[in-house]
């Protein structure tokens, strides 16, 4: 799939591939169709973490490095709270992380000079020598001011231009917890969010510290996503419970929301409000306790995001959907198109007809949806 | 609305009404983030609030600078959590003595609009969204009678405040029913450095003290449900205008 190489002029001007996991059918729609694709009584849960200026240029001894924060110092944490971060070698955002030179070897006690800040390495991970825990020489408002002055959002080599902080935020971000933008929520404009509510679809937040998408070290990449923290407000738990009690579906806007909700329910036996961390990995066959569907960016095969989709639909259906997306020119990555995986998606009146899979499949939509006549794709 | 533990962001908080609002709200138990350009003056105000047992943090930034927007919003949320009350108080008169509109330099008008209109627009854009999602929040935009009356030589400032009033009404209309409330507040004439710059020969004895006006505004915040969203309020008389 080809990446979107710059943010769209308007955030909601992206396509939406509706993947009906019960009917095994597809619909080419746009992000603005989301309210009509859902039913009154459904609930969309979003990640309201704002994106950090997580990329800090610095030096270790004479060597140029880039430190990418995996999260933010916790509010109210003891003085000089520790933060996990990944160290990269010299090079600019135009280079793919995989081809960047490795950073110098780092020992506990090493100081990394970052313009207005100094970071002291207090731990080096067993997973990878570039996964570090650091403490800064500033705290509170001074630390945050320095981070925003000398940090930049994590950049992507496939982009045409460097991204300012403005380009990597959702419209509802609050606390800066995310190392990279929780990108499934990026196309959600207020026009869409208010239309969801007018339709009777609830929209509720949680906060999840979305981590890095790439580290440049195959061993560390294989361990992604790492354990990440989240906070689920009591009002969101109540909204989810009342939606489910009335037969509504829970749609997670992004893999971070899935991880927070399912990780919480997995750890507690049921959904509990409050703070927590999760290292839950989901994939084909994983039991879902809370979520019925996911709104997600388009991810390439092999990424952990893509594996997670296997929890929402069967593999051959997802593979077929993604082949259709490639053929139809959907764009991937942070600023690309999105997809909704959900059973029994509602077809908007103006939308094209459902595209069906094999007519011999017992769950084919010919029988499942008499109101949604099907066209069979030329080849699947 | 309960002031205790109310997460509050106030711009232009190093002096005048902004400072008085920050001190009054912090004194009533709100967690306050103060924004102003002058770091040294701001730090003194924050130190004073903390000495009296209040919770306050300083962010030295210019609301007229687009690059500062996410820094202000992100730092504030990181320090105290999602914002419940935002007061857009920072504003610029432009050069003084105030010139006639035909004598006003283009760049001076642009700068006044940047600080008084575009700045609150940008901050509201990145802060009000989280309020709407959470179903609660209050935004107060500090206005002026110059937004309504056409005072000679107050052109740049008056036009900027009229524009801010209208933004307030449109935000209120678009977000009616979401639980997020927008208000314009005309604080009246106060004994401040800004007033002295605009009208140097005014008699300070005839001007309200910022602390008294701040106390009235905070009292209004306590009884905020009485004011319809989008309303324009006058601090002096406490009545809804228009």
| Pairing outcome for strands A2-3 and A331-332 | parallel
pLDDT band at A364 (very low <50, low <70, confident <90, very high): very low
> Using the beta-carbon criterion (under 8 Å), do B79 and A205 form an inter-chain contact?
no
Higher local confidence (pLDDT), B124 or A302: B124
CB count within 10 Å of CB A321 equals 27
pLDDT band at A371 (very low <50, low <70, confident <90, very high): very low
> Using the beta-carbon criterion (under 8 Å), do B81 and A144 form an inter-chain contact?
no
CA A13/CA A8 separation, integer angstroms: 6
User: What pLDDT sits at residue A380?
Assistant: 36
Phi first, then psi: what are they for B196, rounded to 5°?
A: -65, -35
Q: What is the mean pLDDT of residues B75-85?
A: 97
User: What pLDDT sits at residue B240?
Assistant: 53
Could you say which of A148, A172, A194 has the minimum Cβ distance to residue B71?
Answer: A148
User: What pLDDT sits at residue A79?
Assistant: 60
User: Measured between beta carbons, which residues in chain A are less than 8 angstroms from residue B75?
Assistant: 141, 144-145, 148
Q: b/e string for A237-257 if b means 16 or more Cβ within 10 A?
A: bebbeebbeeebbbbbbbbbb
pTM, whole model, 2 decimals? 0.94
CA B204/CA A129 separation, integer angstroms: 66
Give yes or no for residue A352 having a pLDDT over 50.
yes
> Using the beta-carbon criterion (under 8 Å), do B130 and A173 form an inter-chain contact?
yes
B184 is catalytic: no
Q: What is the mean pLDDT of residues B79-103?
A: 97
CA A337/CA A12 separation, integer angstroms: 10
With beta carbons less than 8 A apart as the criterion, state whether A48 and A207 touch.
yes
Give yes or no for residue A178 having a pLDDT over 90.
yes
User: What pLDDT sits at residue B208?
Assistant: 93
pLDDT band at A214 (very low <50, low <70, confident <90, very high): confident
**B102 within a domain of the structure (yes/no):** yes
Structure tokens given for A254: 């992004």
A97 alpha-carbon distance from chain centroid: 19
With beta carbons less than 8 A apart as the criterion, state whether A102 and A41 touch.
no
B77 vs A: CB within 8 A? yes
- SS (HEC) of A188-213: CCHHHHHHHHHCCCEEEEEEECCCCC
CA A209/CA B158 separation, integer angstroms: 44
> Using the beta-carbon criterion (under 8 Å), do A50 and B81 form an inter-chain contact?
no
**B1 within a domain of the structure (yes/no):** no
User: What pLDDT sits at residue A368?
Assistant: 38
With beta carbons less than 8 A apart as the criterion, state whether B9 and B36 touch.
no
B92 is catalytic: no
Among A319, A351, A187, A183, residue whose Cα is nearest residue A256: A183
User: What pLDDT sits at residue B238?
Assistant: 62
Q: What is the pLDDT of residues A293-313, one digit of tens each?
A: 999 998 877 777 888 999 999
Task: Print the domain residue range for B106.
Answer: 7-241
CA A301/CA A319 separation, integer angstroms: 9
> Residues of chain B with pLDDT > 90: what percent?
93
> Using the beta-carbon criterion (under 8 Å), do A172 and B69 form an inter-chain contact?
no
> Residues of chain B with pLDDT > 70: what percent?
98
> Using the beta-carbon criterion (under 8 Å), do B133 and A235 form an inter-chain contact?
no
In chain B, which among 111-130 make CB contacts under 8 A with chain A? 126, 129-130
Among A376, A371, A323, A324, residue whose Cα is nearest residue A348: A371
Distance from CA of B55 to the nearest CA of A (A): 12
> Using the beta-carbon criterion (under 8 Å), do B78 and A174 form an inter-chain contact?
no
Q: What is the pLDDT of residues B187-231, one digit of tens each?
A: 999 999 999 999 999 999 999 999 999 999 999 999 888 788 999
User: What pLDDT sits at residue B241?
Assistant: 52
Q: What is the pLDDT of residues A92-151, one digit of tens each?
A: 877 888 888 899 999 999 999 998 999 999 999 999 999 999 999 999 999 999 999 999
Omega cis (within 30) before A225: yes
CA B123/CA A164 separation, integer angstroms: 16
User: Measured between beta carbons, which residues in chain B are less than 8 angstroms from residue A165?
Assistant: 70-71, 74
Structure tokens given for A238: 């109540």
Q: How far lies A288's CA from each of A25, A237, A283, A302, A312, in Å?
A: 21, 16, 10, 21, 8
User: What pLDDT sits at residue A152?
Assistant: 96
A52 vs B: CB within 8 A? yes
Between A75-84, A97-106, A178-187, the lowest mean confidence (pLDDT) is in A75-84
> Using the beta-carbon criterion (under 8 Å), do B135 and A190 form an inter-chain contact?
no
Could you say which of B59, B78, B132 has the minimum Cβ distance to residue A72?
Answer: B78
- Distance separating the N- and C-terminal Cα atoms of chain B: 24
CA B90/CA B192 separation, integer angstroms: 13
Segments making up each domain of chain A, as ranges? 2-51+163-375, 55-152
pLDDT band at A372 (very low <50, low <70, confident <90, very high): very low
pLDDT band at B118 (very low <50, low <70, confident <90, very high): very high
**DSSP type of residue A166:** G
CATH class belonging to A55-152: mainly beta
**Residue in B45, B74, B174, B178 to test binding to A, most A beta-carbons within 10 Å:** B74
User: What pLDDT sits at residue A379?
Assistant: 42
The 3-state DSSP class for residue A325 equals helix
CATH number of the domain enclosing B47: 3.40.50.720
> Using the beta-carbon criterion (under 8 Å), do B70 and A193 form an inter-chain contact?
no
User: Measured between beta carbons, which residues in chain B are less than 8 angstroms from residue A197?
Assistant: 178
The 3-state DSSP class for residue A331 equals strand
With beta carbons less than 8 A apart as the criterion, state whether A210 and A256 touch.
yes
Give yes or no for residue A91 having a pLDDT over 90.
no
CA B233/CA B235 separation, integer angstroms: 6
Number of domains into which chain B is organized: 1
User: What pLDDT sits at residue B91?
Assistant: 97
Q: Which residues contact A250 (CB under 8 A, 6 or more apart)?
A: A42, A43, A45, A240, A243, A244, A261, A290, A291, A292, A293
User: What pLDDT sits at residue A367?
Assistant: 33
CB count within 10 Å of CB B147 equals 20
Average pLDDT value for chain A:
90
Average pLDDT value for chain B:
95
Q: How far lies A96's CA from each of A37, A99, A142, A159, A250, in Å?
A: 37, 6, 32, 11, 36
**Residue in A44, A52, A173, A234 to test binding to B, most B beta-carbons within 10 Å:** A173
Could you say which of B67, B70, B80 has the minimum Cβ distance to residue A169?
Answer: B70
Give yes or no for residue A186 having a pLDDT over 90.
yes
Q: What is the mean pLDDT of residues B59-68?
A: 97
User: What pLDDT sits at residue A2?
Assistant: 87
Could you say which of A48, A53, A204 has the minimum Cβ distance to residue B130?
Answer: A48
Q: What is the mean pLDDT of residues A244-267?
A: 97
Q: What is the mean pLDDT of residues A282-292?
A: 93
CB count within 10 Å of CB A267 equals 12
Give yes or no for residue A21 having a pLDDT over 50.
yes
> Using the beta-carbon criterion (under 8 Å), do A169 and B78 form an inter-chain contact?
no
B156 vs A: CB within 8 A? no
Catalytic residue among B91, B92, B143, B160: B143
User: What pLDDT sits at residue A97?
Assistant: 83
> Which is the CATH superfamily of the domain at A2-51+163-375?
QueA-like (3.40.1780.10)
Could you say which of A72, A166, A175 has the minimum Cβ distance to residue B82?
Answer: A175
In chain A, which among 190-249 make CB contacts under 8 A with chain B? 190, 193-194, 197, 203-205, 233, 235
Which chain B residue's Cα is nearest to A144?
B75
pLDDT band at A350 (very low <50, low <70, confident <90, very high): confident
Give yes or no for residue A375 having a pLDDT over 60.
no
User: Measured between beta carbons, which residues in chain A are less than 8 angstroms from residue B132?
Assistant: 172, 190, 193
A144 alpha-carbon distance from chain centroid: 24
For B9-64, give the DSSP string: EEESTTSHHHHHHHHHHHHTT-EEEEEES-HHHHHHHHHHHHHTT-EEEEEE--TT
Q: For tokens 């135009």, what's the residue?
A: A94
User: What pLDDT sits at residue A140?
Assistant: 92
Q: Which residues contact A170 (CB under 8 A, 6 or more apart)?
A: A46, A47, A48, A50, A181, A182, A185, A186, A188, B129
Strand arrangement of the beta sheet that strand A202-208 belongs to: A274-278, A228-232, A202-208, A43-47, A250-253, A293-297, A338-342, A15-20, A25-30, A354-356, A374-375
Could you say which of B57, B67, B77 has the minimum Cβ distance to residue A176?
Answer: B77
CA A12/CA A27 separation, integer angstroms: 18
């Amino acid at each position: 799939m080809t990446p979107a190489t710059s943010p769209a002029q308007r955030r909601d001007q992206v396509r939406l591939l509706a993947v009906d996991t019960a009917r095994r059918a597809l619909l080419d729609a746009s992000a603005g169709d989301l309210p009509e694709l859902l039913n009154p009584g459904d609930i969309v849960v979003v990640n309201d973490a704002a994106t950090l200026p997580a990329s800090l240029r610095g030096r270790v001894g004479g060597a140029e490095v880039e430190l990418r924060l995996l999260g933010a110092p916790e509010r109210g944490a003891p003085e000089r709270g520790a933060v996990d971060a990944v160290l990269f070698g010299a090079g600019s955002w135009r280079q793919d992380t995989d081809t960047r030179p490795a950073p110098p070897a780092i020992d506990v006690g090493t100081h990394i000079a970052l313009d207005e800040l100094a970071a002291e390495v207090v731990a080096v991970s067993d997973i990878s020598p570039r996964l570090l825990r650091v403490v800064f020489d500033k705290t509170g408002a001074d630390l945050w001011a320095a981070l925003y002055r000398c940090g930049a959002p994590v950049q992507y080599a496939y982009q045409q231009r460097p991204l300012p902080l403005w380009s990597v935020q959702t419209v509802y971000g609050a606390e800066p917890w995310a190392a990279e933008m929780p990108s499934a929520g990026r196309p959600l404009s207020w026009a869409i969010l208010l239309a969801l509510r007018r339709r009777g679809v609830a929209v509720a937040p949680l906060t999840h510290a979305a981590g890095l998408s790439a580290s440049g070290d195959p061993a560390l990449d294989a361990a992604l996503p790492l354990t990440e923290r989240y906070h689920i407000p009591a009002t969101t738990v109540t909204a989810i419970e009342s939606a489910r009690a009335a037969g509504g579906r829970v749609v997670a806007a992004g893999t971070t929301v899935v991880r927070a909700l399912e990780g919480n329910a997995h750890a507690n036996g049921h959904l509990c409000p409050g703070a927590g961390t999760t290292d839950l990995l989901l994939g084909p066959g994983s039991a879902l306790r809370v979520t019925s569907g996911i709104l997600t960016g388009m991810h390439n095969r092999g990424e952990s995001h893509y594996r997670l989709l296997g929890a929402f639909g069967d593999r051959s259906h997802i593979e077929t959907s993604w082949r259709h997306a490639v053929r139809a020119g959907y764009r991937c990555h942070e600023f690309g198109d999105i997809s909704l995986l959900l059973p029994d998606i509602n077809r908007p009146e103006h939308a094209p007809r459902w595209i069906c899979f094999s007519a011999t499949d017992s769950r084919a939509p010919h029988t499942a949806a008499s109101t949604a006549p099907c066209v069979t794709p030329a080849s699947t | 609305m309960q002031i205790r533990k109310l997460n509050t962001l106030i711009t232009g908080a190093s002096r005048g009404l902004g400072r008085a609002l920050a001190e009054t709200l912090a004194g009533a138990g709100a967690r306050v983030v103060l924004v102003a350009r002058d770091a040294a003056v701001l730090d003194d105000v924050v130190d004073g609030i903390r000495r009296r047992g209040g919770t306050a943090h300083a962010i030295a930034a210019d609301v007229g600078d687009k690059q500062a927007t996410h820094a202000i919003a992100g730092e504030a949320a990181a320090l105290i959590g999602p914002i419940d009350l935002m007061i857009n108080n920072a504003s610029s008169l432009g050069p003084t003595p105030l010139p006639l509109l035909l004598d006003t330099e283009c760049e001076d008008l642009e700068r006044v609009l940047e600080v008084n209109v575009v700045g609150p627009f940008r901050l509201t854009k990145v802060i009000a969204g989280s309020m709407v999602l959470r179903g609660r929040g209050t935004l107060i935009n500090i206005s002026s009678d110059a937004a309504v009356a056409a005072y000679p030589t107050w052109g740049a400032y008056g036009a900027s405040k009229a524009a801010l009033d209208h933004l307030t009404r449109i935000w209120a209309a678009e977000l009616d029913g979401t639980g997020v409330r927008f208000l314009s507040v005309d604080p009246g004439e106060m004994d401040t450095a800004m007033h002295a710059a605009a009208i140097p020969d005014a008699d300070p004895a005839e001007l309200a003290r910022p602390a008294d006006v701040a106390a009235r505004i905070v009292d209004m915040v306590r009884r905020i449900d009485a004011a319809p969203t989008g309303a324009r309020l006058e601090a002096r008389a406490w009545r809804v205008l228009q």
